[in-house]
């Protein structure tokens, strides 16, 4: 099994420490404390999977420079502009890149890089020989094996072609609040499930989705559809 580990969330979490009192800082002050936590978390994830799979290779992905999605619309991730970042975040990213030889993206996001490697490696070695390791729901748009290592889940998803296709178009309806993507305010999972119930091909999903865009966005339907699709669809080439 080849593991493709999206390490961004692990890096972010590694910067935080457990507070003993409410007045304590939530962040580590020493870089070594944060990097030790990262290594511990990483090995914990790999060890969990080694109990059930024969691991042949581990590829780690972390960080990127530039983001083509921000050229599509200034609203993309604009909700994060004023969010405070952990003081050691950049230093831990640098550590992971240096020590773990992590794969870095240019012009795309980390999950695009993971998607690209998943596509190439699964075609070369077989779909069941590659696993994406992440807590990011965006990967569910692919018919892949995906391990969510979050302590509340710790589950391997075996996503079918049909499920992957549905997941992408459902996401276009419900949006992604974390990335400030929302083209249909007030429409959630229940609406999406009912609205897309009769679709079973990309053509049918596309046709149905475009009808919804025309209903809501009128003369800007085509522009908004293309925007939404390109913001949410991960790149595999």
138 and 93 in one domain? yes
176 domain-assigned: yes
237 domain-assigned: no
pLDDT in tens, 5-15: 999 999 999 99
- pLDDT category, 158, cuts 50, 70, 90? very high
Q: Angle of helix 221-232 relative to helix 161-174, nearest 10 degrees?
A: 120
Asked if 4 contacts 46 with a C-beta cutoff of 8 angstroms, the reply is no
5's enclosing H/E stretch is: strand 2-6
Q: What is the pTM of this model?
A: 0.93
- CA within 13 Å, CB half, 230: 15
Which of 96, 125, 159 terminates a domain? The answer is 159
170 and 134 in one domain? no
Query: Quick one: pLDDT at residue 173?
Result: 97
154 and 56 in one domain? yes
SS3 letters across 71-130? HHCCCCCHHHCCCCCCCCHHHHHHHHHHHCCCEEEECCCHHHHHHHHHHHHHHHHCHHHE
121 domain-assigned: yes
- pLDDT category, 89, cuts 50, 70, 90? very high
- pLDDT category, 21, cuts 50, 70, 90? confident
- pLDDT category, 43, cuts 50, 70, 90? very high
Q: Are strands 155-158 and 57-65 parallel, antiparallel or unpaired?
A: unpaired
Query: Quick one: pLDDT at residue 80?
Result: 84
Torsion of CA 150, 156, 162, 163, to 10 degrees: -20
Rounded Cα–Cα distance for residues 78 and 179 (Å)? 8
Q: In b/e form, how buried is each residue of 194-213, taking b as 16+ CB within 10 angstroms?
A: ebbeebeeeeebeebbeebb
Give how many domains the chain has, as a whole number.
2
Q: At 83, which CATH number?
A: 3.40.50.1010
The pLDDT of residue 39 is above 90: yes
Rounded Cα–Cα distance for residues 132 and 164 (Å)? 14
The pLDDT of residue 151 is above 90: no
Which of 144, 159, 174 terminates a domain? The answer is 159
Structural domain boundaries enclosing 130: 2-159
193 and 102 in one domain? no
pLDDT in tens, 49-74: 999 999 999 999 998 999 999 999 99
pLDDT in tens, 160-179: 999 999 999 999 999 999 89
Q: What counts of helices (H) and strands (E) characterise the chain?
A: 9, 6
65 and 18 in one domain? yes
Strands (E), 120-231: 130-133, 145-148, 155-158
Query: Quick one: pLDDT at residue 83?
Result: 83
168 domain-assigned: yes
173 and 135 in one domain? no
186 and 91 in one domain? no
Query: Quick one: pLDDT at residue 36?
Result: 97
192 and 146 in one domain? no
119 and 168 in one domain? no
């Amino acid at each position: 099994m080849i593991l493709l580990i999206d390490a961004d969330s692990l890096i972010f979490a590694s910067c935080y420490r457990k507070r003993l009192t409410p007045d304590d800082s939530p962040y580590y002050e020493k870089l070594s404390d944060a990097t030790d936590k990262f290594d511990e978390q990483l090995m914990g994830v790999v060890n969990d999977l080694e109990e059930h799979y024969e691991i042949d290779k581990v590829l780690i992905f972390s960080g990127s420079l530039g983001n083509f999605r921000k050229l599509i619309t200034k609203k993309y991730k604009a909700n994060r502009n004023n969010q405070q970042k952990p003081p050691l975040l950049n230093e831990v990213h640098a550590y992971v890149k240096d020590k773990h030889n992590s794969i870095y993206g240019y012009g795309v996001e980390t999950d695009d890089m993971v998607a690209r490697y998943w596509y190439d490696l699964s075609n070369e070695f077989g779909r069941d020989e590659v696993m994406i390791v992440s807590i990011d729901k965006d990967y569910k748009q692919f018919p892949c094996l995906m391990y969510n290592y979050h302590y509340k889940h710790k589950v391997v998803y075996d996503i079918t072609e049909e499920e992957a296709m549905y997941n992408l178009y459902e996401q276009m309806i419900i949006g992604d609040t974390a990335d400030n993507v929302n083209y249909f305010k007030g429409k959630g999972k229940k609406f999406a499930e009912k609205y897309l119930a009769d679709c079973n091909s990309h053509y049918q999903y596309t046709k149905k989705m475009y009808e919804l865009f025309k209903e809501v966005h009128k003369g800007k339907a085509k522009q908004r559809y293309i925007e939404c699709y390109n913001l949410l669809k991960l790149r595999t080439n």
